[in-house]
Amino acid sequence: MKPRDATGWLFVLPAVGLLGVIGLIPLITVINYSFFEIFILDQRFWVRLEWYAEIIRAERFWSSFARSTLFSMLVLCIQIPLGIAIALCIPRSRIWVGLTLALFSLPLLVPWNMIPSLWLSLLNDETGLLGRAMGVLGWPAAWKDSALLTWIVILAMDTWHWTSLVVLLCYSAVATIPAPYYQAAAIDAAGPWQVFRHIQFPRLQNVLLMAVLLRFMDSFMIYTEAFPINAGGPDGASLFLAVDLGEEIKAFNYGPSAARSVLYFLIVLSVAWVFSKAQGKLDKAQGGASG
Amino acid sequence: MRLPGIIKTLALVLFAGFTVLPLIQMTLLSFTATLPQPGLEVGSSTWRNYTTLVTDPALRAAFANSIAYVLINICITLPVALPAAYAFSRMSFVGDKHLFLAFIAFRITPPVVLTLPIFQLFSALGIVNSVFGIALAHCLFNLPISIWILQGFISAIPKEMDETAFLDGYTRPRFIWKILLPQIAPGIAVTAFFCFMFSWVEVVFARILTTTNGKPISMALNALFGFRTDIGLVMAVTLASMIPGAVLVFLMRNHLSRGFRVGGS
């Protein structure tokens, strides 16, 4: 049992101070703005919850919300199992591990605003490697007219960009499993599924929870990468939540953009709360198993 | 090789192919002349994009800015994250669970939500258009994730080590500095690597905080897009921007492959 006293606060104080200044103060500012009509920052009118009511009533908000939710779910369903599978496939020999991990992390090092450009040039029907090959297979040059094909491209791009992070995190956890565990499993003639279920998966849980959280939230609020692919089109089919907010900020609509920011932060908070509940459950289960 | 081995290798090769395909496209384009230039036909292969990259002062400054703000970010994040990670790993205090939740909430808050007030705050503080501003803003997502990663490394060190050191008369800060720090050196390296990775490629804060000066690579890339975009040059700059990270991953490969327990208590 850890000793329970206030010394801990001394150690977290620098972090609390830093995040207080660059996180909490801006957040409070946004909350404050969200109740005002603001033309210029010195001149403002109290409008109570008007902006919130406007956003909630707009059909556009709910359709963006639905699209972002669907997108995040698809991202999780693809990237998490794929990430685990690839992490488990990585060979055990030292040299190969290093090389594969280094190779797989390359997409994570591309500046985010260049990721759509990379994929658009890859899919270019005249000069792109994939565009030309897919053209032969019947991929239409005018794929931007199709909502389905646009979604496939954005999903492929996001999978390319982020699955490596899931792989890195999962591999790091699997690599800490001591060899005797596997030897014991081999003596018991355990199959690959049993090894995964009883040896690898328990080690993965903590990391997976964080991977799911990061992937869910970052894809739910995807901004820089998704918009340039098809400018939100066709017909708004790839307009996600963060795009709406970005447009209001660009138009200097202080009040409405602040209200939208607060709504998004409430979503963030509820997701973080679910995460901490899950983490607590996991800690309890693991504490129970070991103690 | 047995059948599972073959399937595993095949899966890895396919995934590696998927990973490098856009990068091959990028490399090919970066060696191609994509705008008509004197003495060069469009589509012919050339080194010129790379010579432009080396000689253009704006692009050179962008590389210097990116390296500067990432280093400053790491220098702020690590010393602040380390004691916090130690506290979350070893101590129990009133509100610890809630505090961790608050930290995580800031990590997953999309930058676009806080762009406006952060711009105003940083203008008031006079750190807009400087590498220091970006470095500070990026702590918003790097600090929580660093605490989370370091916490895993610290938790992997047996608690008895703390207790023995206290019996030997070490104070907590001296114990962290003298004994714990050398033990978790790989953890520090891994954390610094993740800070680099998330910070180097970020664009939302980088964009709003650098309107005139201090532009990092991602913004220099944005500036290259225009009425007639030289996509070959864009790809050359992108490729060059990945080199520091690739070198870092290669140096880190043993730390990463040895595995680390992240999170958990």
Q: B31 in a domain, yes or no?
A: no
Q: Using the predicted structure, report yes or no on whether residue B259 has a pLDDT greater than 80.
A: no
CATH of residue B99's domain is 1.10.3720.10
List the 85-104 stretch of B: residues with Cβ below 8 A of A.
Answer: 86-88, 90-94, 96-97, 99-104
Q: B187 in a domain, yes or no?
A: yes
Please report the pLDDT score of residue A106 as a whole number.
92
User: Per residue in A250-289, pLDDT tens?
Assistant: 777 788 888 888 888 898 889 888 988 888 888 788 765 4
Please report the pLDDT score of residue A290 as a whole number.
43
Closest approach of B38 to chain A, Cα-based (Å)? 22
Under an 8 A CB cutoff, do B100 and A164 touch? Answer: no
Q: What are the CA-CA distances from residue A30 to residues A8, A52, A166, A223, A270 (Å)?
A: 30, 13, 33, 19, 18
Which of the four pLDDT bands, split at 50, 70 and 90, describes residue A215?
very high
Q: How many residues does chain A have?
A: 291
Domain total of chain B: 1
What is the model's pTM?
0.89
Whole-number Å distance between alpha carbons of A193 and A96: 24
Q: B32 in a domain, yes or no?
A: no
List the 3-62 stretch of B: residues with Cβ below 8 A of A.
Answer: 4, 8-9, 11-12, 15-16, 18-26, 28-29
Q: B205 in a domain, yes or no?
A: yes
Neighbouring-strand partners of residue A37: A45
- Lowest-pLDDT range of A116-120, A148-152, A227-231, B1-5: B1-5
**Average pLDDT score over residue span B120-148:** 91
**Average pLDDT score over residue span B72-92:** 92
Whole-number Å distance between alpha carbons of B259 and A170: 9
Q: B23 in a domain, yes or no?
A: no
Domains of chain A: 34-290 (1.10.3720.10)
Q: B24 in a domain, yes or no?
A: no
Q: What residue numbers bound the domain in which B246 lies?
A: 56-258
Tell me the chain B residues in contact with residue A209 when contact means C-beta distances shorter than 8 Å: 263
B157 in A contact zone (CB under 8 Å): no
Please report the pLDDT score of residue A79 as a whole number.
95
Q: B16 in a domain, yes or no?
A: no
Write the residue in B80, B197, B234 that is nearest to A15 by C-beta.
B80
Cα atoms in the Cβ-side hemisphere of radius 13 Å centred on B256: 30
A59 in B contact zone (CB under 8 Å): no
Q: B226 in a domain, yes or no?
A: yes
Q: Between helices B217-224 and B57-90, what is the axis angle to 10°?
A: 140
Tell me the chain B residues in contact with residue A245 when contact means C-beta distances shorter than 8 Å: 112-113
**Average pLDDT score over residue span A169-194:** 87
Round the average pLDDT of chain A to a whole number and report it. 86
Under an 8 A CB cutoff, do B94 and A217 touch? Answer: no
**Average pLDDT score over residue span B244-263:** 78
Round the average pLDDT of chain B to a whole number and report it. 87
**Average pLDDT score over residue span B10-37:** 89
